[in-house]
């Protein structure tokens, strides 16, 4: 049996600092970027040595803007990376020079350890260990000081003896030394699983800054399947076998509840990229519906030295998608009830491929559903909250002008359903909010309509022919027109859900309104 660590998978809430730390500071190579197999709209990044060898791989599920996890029993608590025994001094100087958070040095199992915290708070240990070195990418770290491979991980188990017996029986590790409350297991390669007695610990919780699982190695798919057959004989061990394209995977929870994956060494990461181009393309699982649209919903980032958006802490959580050749237009997107800042990006991109997209997340939640303002019933709305959030939206548009250089003249606001409801109300409450707005399936939410001057505002309203709220959308169109807005109403075949007809209506209107604006300037 092949034994050793294949990869470790963790969770991050912010992709750019994550890339900067693992590529820029630690010097690993980004070897693959994909949409997740469980959720294609979740970015999954893989870092490793130059050739993406098992034993070097740290992977991250990107929960962009997600909540923080809690390390506890039933989780991996620490990740250790091996360095040359004489390299601790180099890394201490690098930590101090680059301002990386450090918890100092220690001795563990006779090895010198430098403890660091990554941007999400994960404890990363650089360990002076004489392990075979893998070929790391060339960068500003001298080859003799580069990360060599994964040294090991620490598992927190409330049933230490049972966890130890399970991992040694099924995954080829063998018991080695003990130190304090830690039992060390070692593989044929020399990497380790440290099993810490966590009796009495609070249970861990998934989230940013937590480890999702550790994967151990199998030679091939046949070995994974053989172990899965053995585990199925244990009534208490629920297993899941998956084809992850780059390797065959088996998932099982060991007796202490830590999620363990067994991953085959092959076929590997060179199936869809060359060795030289590893990590440069974005892939999604082959059965993904609308793969191009899904790619637009994944957060963008820049490798060290590349251009990137430097995000500011503004009123609303937000995300940009910048196309390769932006035309100067920015479309601000306000999602519907239960949506997110990414939902409307595919539609907006298809309607205007060269526009920069700015997805915005509503701040109100009802029964766990993300919205833009409070309501007391299906069509009974909190008027004070609508006015407050309209003011917040206006302030946000002012913030992005200062923070990102998004001018009001180049800004188009597009909302769907609940997002369109807020946008329609804000147009009436805040004259001059934007010059162009698209409202998809909106309704009139204001009880009292103030006097407004929207003579410089163009609005497209797209209604569904069979939408139960269609007449209320028509009422909003009449109110906007009465305030002086140039309103075009398009009715498409369908109900409240969006269709390709909406995309075409938005595309045509954006093109025509942009042309009309240019002609007016001439």
Claim to verify: residue 230 and residue 110 sit in the same structural domain: yes
Q: Are 60 and 44 in contact (CB under 8 A)?
A: yes
Residue 240, domain member (yes or no): yes
Claim to verify: residue 320 and residue 268 sit in the same structural domain: no
pLDDT of residue 83: 98
Claim to verify: residue 262 and residue 327 sit in the same structural domain: no
- Collapsing DSSP to helix, strand or coil, 230 comes out as helix
Residue 306, domain member (yes or no): no
pLDDT of residue 520: 61
Claim to verify: residue 276 and residue 320 sit in the same structural domain: no
Residue 245, domain member (yes or no): yes
Claim to verify: residue 361 and residue 510 sit in the same structural domain: yes
> Which residues fall within 8 angstroms of residue 522, CB to CB, at 6 or more apart?
none
Q: How do residues 378-433 score in pLDDT, each as one tens digit? A: 789 999 999 999 999 999 999 999 999 999 899 999 999 999 999 999 999 999 99
Total number of domains in the chain: 2
Residue 296, domain member (yes or no): no
pLDDT of residue 239: 84
Using CA of residue 39, residue 40, residue 44, residue 49, what is the dihedral sign? positive
> What is the extent of the structural domain holding 50?
5-283
CA torsion angle for 47, 49, 53, 55 (degrees, to 10)?
A: -80
Structure-token match 């998956």, residue found: 242
Q: What is the CATH number of the domain that holds 25?
A: 3.10.180.10
Q: How do residues 92-142 score in pLDDT, each as one tens digit? A: 999 999 999 999 999 999 999 999 999 999 999 999 999 999 999 999 999
Q: What is the CATH number of the domain that holds 486?
A: 3.40.50.1820
Using only C-alpha atoms, the chain has a radius of gyration, in whole angstroms, of 27
Strands of 149-157's sheet in order across: 102-108, 111-117, 123-128, 75-83, 149-157, 192-197, 182-186, 174-179
CA 146 and chain centroid, separation: 28
Q: Are 31 and 80 in contact (CB under 8 A)?
A: no
Claim to verify: residue 330 and residue 468 sit in the same structural domain: yes
Flag residues of the chain having pLDDT under 70. Answer: 235-236, 517-522
pLDDT of residue 522: 55
Claim to verify: residue 260 and residue 325 sit in the same structural domain: no
Claim to verify: residue 86 and residue 187 sit in the same structural domain: yes
pLDDT of residue 386: 98
Number of Cβ within a 10 Å radius of residue 432:
14
Claim to verify: residue 463 and residue 398 sit in the same structural domain: yes
What is the spatial distance between Cα 138 and Cα 98, in angstroms, rounded to a whole number?
Answer: 19
Claim to verify: residue 279 and residue 317 sit in the same structural domain: no
Cα angle for residues 311, 314, 319 (degrees, 5° grid): 50
pLDDT of residue 348: 98
Residue 83, domain member (yes or no): yes
- Residue-wise DSSP of 447-462: SSPPP---TT-EEEEE
């Amino acid at each position: 049996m092949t034994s050793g660590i294949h990869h470790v998978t963790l969770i991050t809430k912010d992709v750019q600092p994550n890339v900067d730390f693992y590529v820029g500071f630690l010097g690993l190579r980004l070897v693959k970027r994909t949409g997740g197999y469980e959720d294609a709209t979740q970015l999954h990044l893989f870092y490793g040595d130059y050739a993406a060898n098992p034993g070097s791989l740290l992977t991250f599920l990107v929960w962009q803007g997600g909540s923080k996890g809690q390390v506890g029993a039933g989780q991996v608590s620490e990740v250790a990376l091996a360095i040359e025994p004489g390299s601790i001094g180099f890394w201490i100087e690098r930590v101090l020079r680059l301002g990386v958070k450090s918890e100092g040095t220690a001795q563990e199992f006779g090895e010198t350890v430098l403890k660091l915290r990554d941007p999400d708070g994960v404890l990363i240990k650089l360990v002076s260990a004489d392990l075979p070195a893998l070929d790391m990418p060339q960068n500003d770290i001298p080859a003799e000081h580069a990360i060599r491979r994964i040294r090991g991980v620490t598992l927190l188990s409330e049933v230490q003896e049972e966890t130890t017996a399970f991992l040694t029986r099924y995954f080829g590790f063998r018991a080695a030394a003990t130190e304090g409350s830690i039992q060390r297991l070692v593989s044929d390669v020399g990497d380790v699983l440290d099993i810490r007695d966590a009796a009495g610990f609070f249970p861990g919780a998934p989230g940013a800054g937590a480890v999702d699982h550790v994967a151990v190695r199998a030679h091939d798919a046949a070995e994974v399947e053989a172990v899965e057959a053995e585990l199925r004989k244990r009534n208490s061990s629920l297993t899941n076998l998956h084809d992850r394209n780059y390797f065959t995977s088996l998932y099982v929870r060991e007796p202490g509840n830590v999620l363990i994956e067994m991953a085959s060494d092959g076929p590997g990461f060179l199936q869809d990229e060359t060795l030289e181009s590893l990590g440069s393309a974005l892939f999604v699982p082959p059965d993904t519906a609308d793969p191009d649209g899904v790619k637009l919903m994944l957060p963008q980032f820049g490798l060290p030295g590349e251009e990137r958006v430097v995000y500011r802490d503004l009123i609303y959580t937000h995300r940009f998608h910048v196309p390769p050749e932006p035309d100067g237009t920015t479309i601000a997107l306000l999602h519907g009830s239960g949506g997110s800042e990414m939902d409307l990006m595919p539609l907006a991109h298809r309607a205007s491929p060269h526009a920069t997209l700015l997805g915005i997340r509503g701040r109100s939640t009802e029964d766990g559903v993300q919205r833009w303002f409070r309501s007391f019933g299906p069509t009974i709305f909190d008027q004070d909250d609508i006015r407050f959030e309209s003011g917040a939206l206006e302030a946000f548009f002012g913030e992005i002008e200062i923070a990102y250089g998004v001018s009001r003249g180049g800004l188009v606001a597009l909302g769907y359903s609940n997002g369109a409801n807020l946008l329609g109300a804000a147009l009436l409450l805040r004259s001059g909010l934007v010059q162009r707005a698209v409202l998809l399936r909106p309704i009139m939410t204001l009880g009292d309509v103030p006097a407004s001057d929207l003579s410089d505002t163009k609005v497209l309203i797209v209604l569904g022919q069979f939408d139960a709220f269609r007449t209320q959308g028509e009422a909003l169109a009449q109110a906007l027109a009465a305030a002086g807005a140039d309103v075009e109403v398009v009715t498409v075949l369908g109900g409240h859900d969006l269709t390709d007809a909406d995309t075409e209506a938005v595309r045509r209107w954006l093109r025509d309104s942009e042309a009309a604006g240019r002609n007016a300037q001439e």
